Amino acid sequence: MTLSNNHTTVLLNEAVEALCINPDETYIDGTFGRGGHTQLLLAKLSANGRVIAFDKDPEAVIVAKRISDTRLSIRHEGFKNICELPDSSVAGVLLDLGISSPQIDNPARGFSFRFDAPLDMRMDTTRGISVAQWLERADVNQITEVIREYGEERFASAIAKAIVTRRQERGAISTTTELAQLVADTVKTRESGQNPATRTFQAFRIYINAELEELQQALAASLNVIKPGGRLVVISFHSLEDRIVKQFIAEHSKDVYDRRMPLALPKNKKLKALGRIKPCMAEISRNPRSRSAVMRIAERLAA
């Protein structure tokens, strides 16, 4: 079944190939999105194969439920919840991180400064608080830390002070346009070709959805749920995500020695790093949003 959507899946074939599919096994698609990876996975599985998909976005869950295939189950929750699955129960975990085109292009979601919309940015609109609600009460130090840590923005302090000053004088920021304009008025030195609000929007989205914390939890859980010989495949879209994935794979791809017991045997490494893949120029030309993608692959070793 081909679903109608305006999302182009990044590294579609490469990601599924990296999973080294066994048709009779079970695989996790940790970010269903609009189903690109899931549908290709289903096409490669036998009647005995299964795909367990996760997504926090209720709109993505609606799309997933349109797929009339008993081999697919969809869970309306973040991929950190793969920890609830039995140990060694799947042959592969695929995490396609970041934000999908339908989320960016839907003004009501508040992810983009291209539209005038409520400043929301929640992946799951059924729970939690929006960015606007957080900015109503966050102090200048909290806002500075978020912009600096998650946006890697050198003008974090100035932007945070401007946000708090605006709140004191005219009330809290509530729309994407207000935030984008405030950042533009505050950031005088701009990177060529990039909207000055890009890093701030990224920072607030990552923070409000606890994206990096959830990634760390999911990676740790993958060590338990993936059976020996299975694969971990992660597609990142910015340096903060990729750094976490790279360090995680590196950490578990080497023997660990207990310095307190120098004569003891090392704890066996759990992963084998299989390298990274980036989109080719043809894919970047077709889908410019893929240009920052990095896919890292690892194999679960025997315990």
> Would residue 291 count as lying in a domain?
yes
Helix (H) or strand (E) holding 286, with range, is helix 281-286
Q: Read off the CATH number of the domain in which 262 is found.
A: 3.40.50.150
Q: Same domain, yes or no, for 155 and 224?
A: no
CATH code: domain of residue 197: 1.10.150.170
Domain closes at, from 173, 192, 208: 208
**How many C-beta atoms surround the C-beta of residue 11 within 10 A?**
23
Tell me the pLDDT tens digit for each residue of 40-60.
999 999 999 999 999 999 999
Last residue of a domain, one of 182, 208, 234: 208
Whether residues 87 and 216 share a domain: the answer is yes
Answer yes or no: is pLDDT of 260 > 70.
no
Same domain, 88 and 228: yes
- Asked if the structure places residue 259 within a domain, the reply is yes
Structural domain range at position 199: 125-208
Overall average pLDDT of the 166-195 stretch:
91
Last residue in a domain, options 153, 182, 208: 208
Which pLDDT score is estimated for 262? 63
Contact, 214 vs 79, CB < 8 A? yes
Q: What percentage of residues in the chain have a pLDDT greater than 70?
A: 93
Task: Kindly state whether residues 30 and 88 are assigned to the same domain.
Answer: yes
Domain tally for the chain? 2
Cα distance between residue 124 and residue 127, in whole Å:
6
